[in-house]
Structure 1
C-alpha cells in the first residue's frame, strides 16, 4: 500500500483547498469512503481533490458542506479554486493538466496537433493565435506559458512515462515556416532521446480504431486509470472502468497499426531535414532561382 501523501497547502490554491478538505474530514472522523457515500463520486476522485489534483464540482462541494457541517465553505471557494487553476488553461482541460503531474503513464493519440507536452513555444503560439484570433498578446502569452510549464514534469525525479502516437499529417502540416517546423520536429526527437518518451507515427493511409478526435489515457500509482477525450471547445473525463478498458484496448490496436519507434523517428527526422532544406532555399536567392528554373524545365 502506497505511503500517505499529505498535500502541501502552500503550493497553490487547489492544494490549500484540498488540505482543508482533508483536515475537516479527518476532524469529523470520516473516511474517504464515508464522505463519498451518497455523492455519486468515487473515493479516488475525492482523494485527488484532497491532493489538489482535481477540481471540486459544485454538487460535490454542496454534499461535503452538508456532511462536514462547514457552513457552505467549500461551495463558496469552488470558483476561487477553479479560477486559480484556469490561467492559460482551458477550463475543460484543467483537471487533466493537474492529473498529468501525478500520472504513472500518459498515452496520447494526436490526430491533428502535436501534444502539448511536445510542443515548442513557436508552435504553441501559432496554435493559440489560430484558435483565439481576437485574444490579446497577454492572453496568448498566458496560454503559451502554461503549455510550456507543463513540460517541466519531465524534470521531476519520477516523471510520467509518455507514449504519444501522432498522425503523419501532423508532421507534414506547415503550421510554421519551414525553419520553425524543423525546430519542432527536432524538439520531438530530442524529448524522445532524453526522457524515455516513445513517439510513433501512424501513416496517413492507415485505417485504425482511433480515426476520431484527440484521446488521452492516464494511469496512476494510487488511483484507477481514466480517459480524456476532447473536441473543439469541450472535453470529457471518463472513469467508468468498462469504458476505460475499451479505450485501452483500442489504443493497443492503434499502437500495432503505427510505425515502429525507429521508423517513426526516421520519418520525423527526414521531415525536419526537409524543413531545413526549404528554409535554406527561402534565404538563398541563387537556390530559389535554380529551383525555379528546374520547375520550368519539367
Structure 2
C-alpha cells in the first residue's frame, strides 16, 4: 500500500491493514513477532498490512491481533465490517443468521445460490446487475460471496439443502468460460456430507413458488424465511408466512429429481458444454 494514499481512497482491506500496521508499530512489535503470535508467517502479515491478501484476512488472525495488542474485539469487529461493506445493507442481517443456522433450505429459481457460485459465475452475475460499477467494487462483491463458503469450514457446519430449478443450469451465465466450471463445482459441492442438491426439472411443470427463497432453521429458535423483493431481500419470522413456505419447500422437494438423478443431469449438461 502506498504510504501517500489518502485514507478516503483506501478500500476496506487496505484500511484494515493500515490499522493493523499502526497499532503494531505503536506496540513496537515486528511483523515476524505478530505472525508468530497469531499463527501466521511474516509474509502473511505483510500482505494483510498492504491490503493485498485475498479474499481477506482470517477471523483467527483478527482475533490474534486483538489478543496480541490487547485491543478487546477491535480487529475482529473491523473484519466483520469489511465483510458487511461488500454486501448490501439489507443482506447483512441474513448473513448473521446464516452463520448460526443448523439447516439452510434454499430454492433457486434462475441463478445458482450465492454460496455455491464460483468466482467467474459470481463476477458475471454482479457485472450484469451492476453494469456501471467500478471493477474494484465488483471484485469486492465477488470476494465477499466466495467468503461465505467458510461456513462449511467451521467445526459444526449446517446442513445445506439446495433445490435448483433446471433454469439455473441452462441459463448461460458467463459463457463457456464460467458455466462448465460452475457445473463442476456443483458436483464437487454435492459430494460434501453437509450439502444435498436436487434439480427441479422443466418436466415437473409449474413450481410451487416462482421466486427464490431460503429457510433458516436453528436448534433453539424458530425458523426464519428470507425472500427477495423489489428493494432487496427481507427476513420474515411470521409463523404463518414461514409455515406456508415450509409447505412449498416440501412440494418442491417432492417434485424434484432424486439426488442421484439430479447429479446425472448436471453431468449430462456438463458434457454438452465441453463438446
TM, length-normalised to structure 1: 0.63
Matches of 1:108 and 1:139 in 2, distance apart? 27
Rg comparison, structure with higher value? 1
Partner of 1:222: 220
Between the aligned partners of 1:88 and 1:244, the Cα distance in structure 2 is: 28
In 1, the alpha carbon distance for the partners of 2:135 and 2:231 equals: 21
- Seen in structure 2, the aligned counterparts of structure 1 residues 211 and 96 have a Cα distance that, compared at 3 Å, is same
Per the alignment, in what secondary structure is the counterpart of residue 108 of structure 1?
strand
Runs ≥4 residues deviating over 6 A: 80-83
* Equivalence for 1:174: 172
Contact 2:204–2:255 (Cα < 8 Å) also in 1: yes
The answer to whether the 8 A contact 1:214-1:231 is kept is no
Count residues in correspondence.
199
Residues of 2 paired with 1:84 and 1:175: CA distance?
27
Q: Residues 131-142 of structure 1 correspond to what in structure 2 (within 5 A)?
A: 131-142=129-140
Unmatched 5+ stretches in structure 1: 1-11, 13-79, 278-298
Q: CA deviation at 1:179?
A: 4.3
CA contact (8 A) 1:179 1:276 kept: no
- What is residue 123 of structure 1 aligned with on the other side? 121
Q: Aligned Cα RMSD in Å? A: 2.1
Displacement of 1:186: 0.6
Write out aligned runs for 1:13-92 (5 A).
86-92=84-90
Residue 200 of structure 1 contacts residue 260 of structure 1 at CA under 8 Å; is this kept in 2?
Answer: yes
Taking the aligned partners of 1:209 and 1:227, their CA distance within structure 2 comes to: 18
Query: 1:223 and 1:125 mapped to 2: Cα distance?
Result: 35
2:108 pairs with 1:110:
yes
Question: How far apart, CA to CA, are the structure 1 residues paired with 2:231 and 2:121?
Answer: 20
Q: Deviations over 1:191-225 (max 9, x none)?
A: 11024311111112323553321100000122211
| Length-normalised TM-score, structure 2 | 0.68
